[in-house]
Structures are given as C-alpha cells and as structure tokens.
C-alpha cells in the first residue's frame, strides 16, 4: 500500500523557546541581581518572562539622515511591546561622509561601519537579547547594521530611516536636493549665480530629516536590503517624515516577535 507523506508544518515556539538568551541572564533565584538592575529601567515582574527585543538606534544630530531615528526607535519599541516582547532601546554612533568629504575626516568613514557593527553586536550579545530591530539611515550605518544582523544571526529586522522630502526656494516651484547644491557650487564658480543665489539654494535644499533624496547610496542600499528580505515590504520607498514610516517602524518591532515565535533567523 502506498503511503501518503505527511506535510510538515512550522511549529510555533513556546514562551520558553522564544527566550534562548534572555532566560540565561534573568531566570532563577541566582539571577535576582540582574533583574534588580532592570526594574528601574521600566521592567515589570511579568516582563522577565517575555523575550527581550533590542532596538538599535543610530539617532544623532550629526546629520539629517539620522536626526529623527529616536522617534522611529520609540515606534519599534511600542510595536515589540504590543506584540508580546519587552523592548530595550540602545544607541550606536553615526557619521556623515556627505558632510566630511574632501577633509581628513573621510579617513574615519569606512572605519565607522565596523564600529557600528561591533557596537550593536556588543550590546545584543552582552545583554542577552533574543532578537532586535536595527534602524539606520545613512551610507555607513546601514551596512553597519546589516553586518551585525548577519554576524549575530538572531531574529532581526532592519528599518530604513527614510528619504528626505524635496526642498524648494520660497516662491519657486523647482524642487531641490543635495545635488542641487553641488550644481549651484559649479554655477557660482562660473559666475552664473551670485553669493546670495548660492546661499538661497544651500539653505533650502534639505528641508528636514531623512537620507539624500535620490537613488544615491542610502536609497539604493535600502532597496537592496528590502530585496534581501531583511526589511519589511515597501519600506525602502517611504519618506522619513510620514505616517507610513512610523507604521513600518512599529510593524518591524512586531515582526521580530513573530520571527522569535516561528524560529526564523537571518541566515535561514
């Protein structure tokens, strides 16, 4: 008699299965000192039985690419907590080679990628986080986040900080971005625009938070990361300041909890 093969179905993890790392740090009478350290940070008794989900934020006022990421981190925190996890927000550094290009500062640019990856891995590993969200929005912190995700191989989702909205000079309809400023520098050097004309473009080209508004490094990498399945569908095309980006950040926190529940890891 021919036997019919049974279809295998994915088994959801139990509450204990979802805490492979945090349980080691927090469970049992001997780990009471560790729990005591977390009560003042906002933990409640019930939180110690939830998976810890880190929120790696690259917030900084160094560059407009990252100046809003603290807000997105809080959205991811809320999403992870609502799903059933316990989120912990932490920060890493960022630099802007878009600002420092042409100076000695560029010697630090590529190095910063490794510092970012190392720092995220350090916090996630040291604090026994079960999974995490990594939020980046500039040329070096985005690959830095991804390097950490690949190394740690714990359930993780990347959130792109989003693109800058276009700027414009008051009373004019032409849209501006960072490339408009480079073009204005060339026009100024050829005496095609005045000092005031250059300053008008310089002061209006970047109106707020987000990564450079075009298919430059950040937006291209965001598209690649989404294509790899490491960020949520549609998230690479959202503006930094938009309801969609806040929603994406919340859903990323919830997605990590779901990955823990289903046992999905980046290298699977």
Domain range summary for the chain, segments of one domain joined by +: 47-164+209-262, 166-207
Q: Does domain 47-164+209-262 have CATH number 1.20.1050.140?
A: no
What secondary structure letter does DSSP report for 52? E
Any long-range contacts for 242-251 (C-beta under 8 Å, 24+ apart)?
Answer: 242/162, 245/72, 245/161, 245/162, 246/71, 246/72, 246/75, 247/75, 248/159, 249/72, 249/73, 249/75, 249/76, 249/79, 249/133, 249/135, 249/159, 250/75, 250/76, 250/78, 250/79, 250/82, 251/79
Kindly state the tokens that stand for 264. Answer: 């999905």
Kindly state the tokens that stand for 113. Answer: 């990628």
For residue 1, the model assigns a pLDDT of 47
For residue 17, the model assigns a pLDDT of 87
What secondary structure letter does DSSP report for 62? S
CA 23, 13, 76, 268 torsion: positive or negative?
positive
Q: Under 8 Å CB-to-CB from 78, ≥6 apart: which residues?
A: 87, 250, 253
The segments of the chain whose pLDDT lies below 70 read: 1-12
pTM: 0.92
């Amino acid at each position: 008699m021919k036997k019919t093969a049974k279809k295998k179905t994915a088994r959801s993890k139990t509450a204990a299965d979802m805490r492979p790392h945090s349980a080691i740090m927090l469970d049992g009478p001997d780990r009471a000192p560790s729990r005591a350290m977390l009560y003042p940070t906002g933990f409640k008794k019930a939180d110690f039985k939830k998976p810890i989900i880190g929120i790696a934020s690259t917030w900084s006022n160094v560059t407009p690419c990252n100046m809003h990421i603290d807000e997105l981190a809080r959205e991811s925190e809320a999403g992870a907590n609502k799903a059933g996890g316990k989120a912990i927000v932490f920060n890493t550094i960022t630099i802007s080679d878009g600002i420092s290009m042409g100076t000695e500062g560029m010697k630090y640019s590529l190095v910063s990628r490794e510092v970012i990856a190392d720092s995220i891995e350090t916090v996630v590993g040291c604090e026994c986080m079960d999974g995490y969200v990594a939020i980046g929005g500039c040329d070096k912190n985005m690959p830095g986040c991804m390097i950490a995700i690949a190394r740690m191989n714990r359930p993780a989702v990347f959130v792109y900080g989003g693109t800058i909205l276009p700027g414009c000079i008051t009373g004019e309809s032409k849209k501006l971005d960072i490339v408009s400023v480079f073009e204005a520098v060339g026009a100024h050097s050829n005496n095609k625009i005045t000092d005031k004309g250059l300053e008008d473009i310089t002061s209006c080209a970047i109106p707020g938070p987000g990564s450079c508004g075009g298919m430059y490094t950040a937006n291209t990498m965001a598209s690649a990361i989404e294509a790899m399945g490491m960020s949520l569908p549609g998230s690479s095309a959202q503006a930094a300041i938009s309801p969609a980006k806040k929603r994406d950040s919340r859903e990323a926190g919830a997605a990590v909890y779901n990955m823990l529940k289903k046992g999905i890891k980046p290298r699977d």
